Amino acid sequence: MADTEQQVNEVQTTDAQVGNTTVQRQTVSQTTSVSAGVVAGRVVWYAIGVIIVLLALRLLLQLMGANQGNGFVDFIYALSGVFAAPFFGMFSYTPSYGQSYFEISTLVAIAIYGLLGWGIAKLFTLGSNHAAEV
């Protein structure tokens, strides 16, 4: 991470006279800075991670046949449905809520969003020597 993260250590020494004794004090300060590209990549991964977790919860609730009448289940279905909807027409089935069902389109959505996040995060570090570290 030589060119993406910088760490600076600064040591300050001061001498003080206390009675007949000279006291030497050292103050150590450490500063770490990360490039904007790395920060942007981390933000992208965080956002994609939230989407993937929502889709994984949706997949799990579908597999368990969760009741859509439950507030939490309905909330997860509604929130994750926004991200899963573009993939619903890929396979010939109709999602049915309240029955145990393996929603293949949600699994495809998880893979696509993961690849999309990886690609976008890589764009922010194309110019660095250590682009693989994001």
Ordered by start, the domain boundaries in the chain are 35-133
pTM for this one? 0.69
pLDDT of residue 3: 43
Amino acid at 11: V
pLDDT of residue 57: 96
- Residue 93 main-chain phi, psi, to 5 deg: -155, 160
Longest Cα pair distance anywhere in the chain, in angstroms?
Answer: 90
> Which residues of the chain have a pLDDT value below 70?
1-9, 11, 93-98, 128-134
> What does the chain come to in residues?
134
pLDDT of residue 130: 54
